[in-house]
Amino acid sequence: MSNERAKIQLVEAFRDGEIERRDFLRGALGLGMSVGTIGLVLSACGTEEKVAPPPPPATPTAPAPEPELGPIEGELHIYNWSDYIAEDTVKLFEEEFKVKVTYDTYESNEEMIAKLQLGGGGYDLVCPSGYAVTILVKLGLVDKLYKKHLPNLSNLAPIFAKTASDPDGAYTVPWQWGITGIAYRKDLIAAAPDSWAVFQDAANKGKVTMMDDMRDNLGAWLKFRGKSLNSVDPADLAAAKADAMLSKPVLKSYISAPVKGQLVTGDVWAAQLWNGDTMQAKAENANIEFAVPKEGAAIWCDAMMVPKGSKNPRAAHEFLNFILRPEVGAKISDFTGYGSPNAQATAKMATPVAYPSDEQMKSLEYQQDLAAGTAVWDRIWTEIKSG
């Protein structure tokens, strides 16, 4: 037998377990096999001494089960934007789940964040916009969700299942999405507004309003000058402040959702407002229309979260799973006038709101957390309001 053939037979015998490691080593050295080759064979056959065999598992290797919540509690405390739910949603939930719900409302993310920061409210659910989701997570004011109790999450449209502010979908259940534009009375205003400049036009003095909301107000003036509504650049913000100050003598007031009544009566001709609230007002007065200014506007998606310290987490999860039902979600969005992030609900809506096309998205921008820039925005907004 040739030396090469003998080496091959030796390796095969070792590989197949026919000879021991000690016999392989002795034979290999006898046949003149290099130390490097011997090492390769030993490690390939899994007997390299340096490689310790894996210890036997102490416990079964199945993944740890997802933690569970306890039984459903008897109450639930919700803190949400005003006019942001169908009239019967809470009642139907209370009846089916035997839970007593308290439902408080707010008018801006900042109002809600401040309340949570002060430790007030005792809420089990809140509904921040995307940028405020980032802030609440960063401040440690919210808990992760127990997906096990949210099987209806599968009804979400894929673009809303994971969002920039909650990339793993660990904290949020998307609620509604919408756009901040201009609601106007087509029978009262001289021409349909197509620009944020409508709020600086002296012809509208005392008949127009902008939202009492730092992000939406300064965001609009940033877009007006072709800037990002997330800018923290001092020059951009100085220009936005100057535009806001120019609009101030024209504005009747800074007011958000409650302006609807004034649009309906005609006391206000044009108001910075969200598309859904505009549709709610239009249901009472058909002369109300909505416009997205040509300079661009904010698009946002609000989402439900469970504040840290919630005393009714199981009831909160049951409520979230309830609103994720297609028929419940469809009723909410048909009432609010906003888009539903729930694909199955959208299919059931009487007046579905289509997600903007790629073309429309070119002029829309999602609001993001301003991080350290928030303090600068806060200061400018205070100066505008008090100036």
- Residues of this chain that interact with ligand N2P (CB under 6 A) are 81-84, 129, 178, 257, 274, 277, 300, 302
Smaller CB separation from ligand N2P, 127 or 250:
127
Q: What is the largest CA-CA distance in the chain?
A: 107
* Region class of 231: left (phi > 0), else alpha (psi between -120 and 50), else beta: beta
Buried b (16+ CB within 10 A) or exposed e, 299-315: bbbbbbbbbeebebbbb
Question: Which residues contact residue 94 at a Cβ distance below 8 angstroms, ignoring those fewer than 6 apart?
Answer: 100, 101
Taking the complex as a whole, how short is the minimal distance between the CB of residue 84 and ligand N2P, in angstroms?
5
Taking the complex as a whole, how short is the minimal distance between the CB of residue 303 and ligand N2P, in angstroms?
10
Smaller CB separation from ligand N2P, 24 or 84:
84
Taking the complex as a whole, how short is the minimal distance between the CB of residue 369 and ligand N2P, in angstroms?
15
d(Cα 225, Cα 147) in Å, to the nearest integer?
43
Taking the complex as a whole, how short is the minimal distance between the CB of residue 116 and ligand N2P, in angstroms?
17
CB-closest chain residue to ligand N2P: 81
Smaller CB separation from ligand N2P, 42 or 279:
279
H/E segment holding residue 22: helix 21-30
Neighbours of 124 (CB within 10 A): 26
d(Cα 27, Cα 93) in Å, to the nearest integer?
79
Contact, 295 vs 224, CB < 8 A? yes
Taking the complex as a whole, how short is the minimal distance between the CB of residue 107 and ligand N2P, in angstroms?
8
Taking the complex as a whole, how short is the minimal distance between the CB of residue 143 and ligand N2P, in angstroms?
22
Smaller CB separation from ligand N2P, 28 or 268:
268
Strands 173-185 and 297-304: antiparallel
Taking the complex as a whole, how short is the minimal distance between the CB of residue 177 and ligand N2P, in angstroms?
9
Smaller CB separation from ligand N2P, 178 or 326:
178
H/E segment holding residue 373: helix 373-386
DSSP assignment string, 80-131:
EETT-S-TTHHHHHHHHHT-EEEEEEES-HHHHHHHHHTT-S--SEE--BHH
Smaller CB separation from ligand N2P, 101 or 298:
298
Smaller CB separation from ligand N2P, 82 or 285:
82
